[in-house]
Amino acid sequence: MNRVVVTGMGALTPIGNSVPEFWENAVNGVNGIDYITRFDTTDLKYKFAGEVKNVDYTGIIEKSQLRKTDLFTQYALYAADEAVKDSGIIGNIDETRFGVYFGTGVGGFDTFCADHSTLLEKGARRVSPFFIPKMIVNIAAGNIAIRYKAHGVNMCVSTACATGATAIGEAYRAIKHGYADAIICGGSEATINPLAAAGFGNMKALSTAETKETASIPFDKRRSGFVLGEGGAALILEEYEHAKARGAKIYAEVSGYGATCDAYHVTSPDPDAVYTANAVKEAMKDIPAVEADKIYINAHGTSTHYNDLTETRTFKNVFGEDAYKLHISSIKSMTGHMLGAAGAIEAITAINTLRTGIVPPTINYVEPDEECDLDYTPNKAVKTPIELALSTNLGFGGHNTCLAFTAVK
């Protein structure tokens, strides 16, 4: 089996438009959640979101292409651009062995809403000819492949809020088993619009907080739901010997991946946390034992009652009493829930924690929950040696994923 390493990373988030900017703000506990500016929320209970800001597509997307692509594809191309440049992979890869595994939870939501309104108001003949290629979920992966001449495997992954992590995990397996030498992988999402807010809101999944400091508060007893976030994140995964031969910078090794399904409920996780735990165990099965106090877990940590409770039970099911020694945090306290992009940006967080030994905080954590009683790194980053970094993600439909990263030895 091939070893798989990370040789490039890119990010567009509510707290930074590059990996260095994102990481600096994550470590410093910067809150990227604020009042929604994309639409009028006067008559809504849901006032807050994690919006990306001041995006400059110069040199990444031509102006003529912007109108032909949905925002989720633009976010994907932006993140992929940084990751590809960071890796130095172009010109150093057989294009037939270069692939893309990139996903989204929803796809072109803004496009769907806009063209549906056009259909109702102006008739079928006025619907954009770009409607379908802007809206379909695989089009971000397709555009990335076109831009970088990636003629190998091209897959769109969609496992709801686990999408970004699933894309990375499946890319890892493809390289591990010899189907590609390098893959651009990750996820993007752009769903801050009235229909998404209405849909998530009416199912009582969104936070009804009245201040941005209480909007997204994972593991806090006051939590009332998640906050819509958006953005994109991309990683370059590469076969280890291939990366070493070209002198690539290596961030970390992908040392494991677990994927299971609760097969329990369309939106709620299984409260027994058996299959979420199985995903974590699967990701760790080939990794030598690591002391619990040297393990970091970037939790899915959505700030919903059942997710945070289920994850806490998951970690206890896997680690037993040692769960109290783990270092855990949720960056959704700063970014909101980036949905299809969440797993990818959280994988980047796990990698940077492994590399730097800095555990980013879960901000605005005030009131402990008796049932969520682990160390969630409240409010301030912690400096400590980390030998194993895990990232867990759960998605509607019962999707569970866990990615494991270690330093290259």
Per residue in 230-276, pLDDT tens?
Answer: 999 999 999 999 999 999 999 999 999 999 999 999 999 999 999 99
Average of per-residue pLDDT values in the chain: 97
pLDDT at 324: 98
Averaged over 26-52, what is the pLDDT? Answer: 96
Catalytic residue numbers read: 161, 300, 337
| pLDDT at residue 187, rounded to an integer | 98
Considering the domain architecture, whether residues 43 and 153 belong to the same structural domain is answered as: yes
> For position 235, what pLDDT does the model report?
98
Residues 241 and 277 in one domain: no
In a domain, 62, yes or no: yes
For every residue of 147-178, DSSP letters joined together read HHT--S-EEEE--GGGHHHHHHHHHHHHHHTT
Confidence check: pLDDT of 331 > 90: yes
Same domain, 143 and 266: no
Token pair recorded at residue 238 = 């590469």
Q: Residue 211 — very low, low, confident or very high, per pLDDT cuts 50/70/90?
A: very high
Look at residues 245, 278, 297 and tell me which one is the last residue of a structural domain. Answer: 245
* Judgement on whether residues 278 and 222 belong to the same structural domain of the protein: no
The parent domain of residue 294 ranges over 257-406
Same domain, 147 and 180: yes
- State yes or no: pLDDT of 103 exceeds 90: yes
Residue 323 belongs to some domain of the structure: yes
Specify the pLDDT at position 43: 87
Count of other CB atoms within 10 angstroms of residue 18:
17
Q: What is the mean pLDDT of residues 172-186?
A: 98
Per-residue pLDDT at 228 exceeds 90? yes
374 and 272 in a common domain: yes
Q: Are residues 211 and 150 in the same domain?
A: yes
Same domain, residue pair 313 and 224: no
Interhelix angle for 19-27 vs 342-356, to 10°? Answer: 70
- Three-state secondary structure call for residue 350: helix
Is 252 within a domain? no
350 domain residue, yes or no = yes
Whether residues 182 and 211 share a domain: the answer is yes
pLDDT of residue 334: 98
Whether pLDDT at 144 is above 90: yes
pLDDT at 287 over 90: yes
CATH number of the domain to which 299 belongs: 3.40.47.10
Q: Map residue 264 onto helix, strand or coil.
A: coil
Average pLDDT over residues 93-98: 98
Does 369 have pLDDT greater than 90? yes
Listed residues 215, 245, 275: the one ending a domain: 245
Same domain membership, residue 318 and residue 280: yes
Q: Let me know whether 225 and 340 are in one domain.
A: no
Residue type at 158 in one-letter notation: S
Report if residue 388 sits inside a domain.
Answer: yes
Per the domain annotation, does 251 fall within a domain? no
Q: Which two tokens stand for residue 259?
A: 């994927």
Flag whether 335 is in a domain.
Answer: yes
Question: How many structural domains does the chain have?
Answer: 2
Please report whether residue 139 resides in a domain. Answer: yes
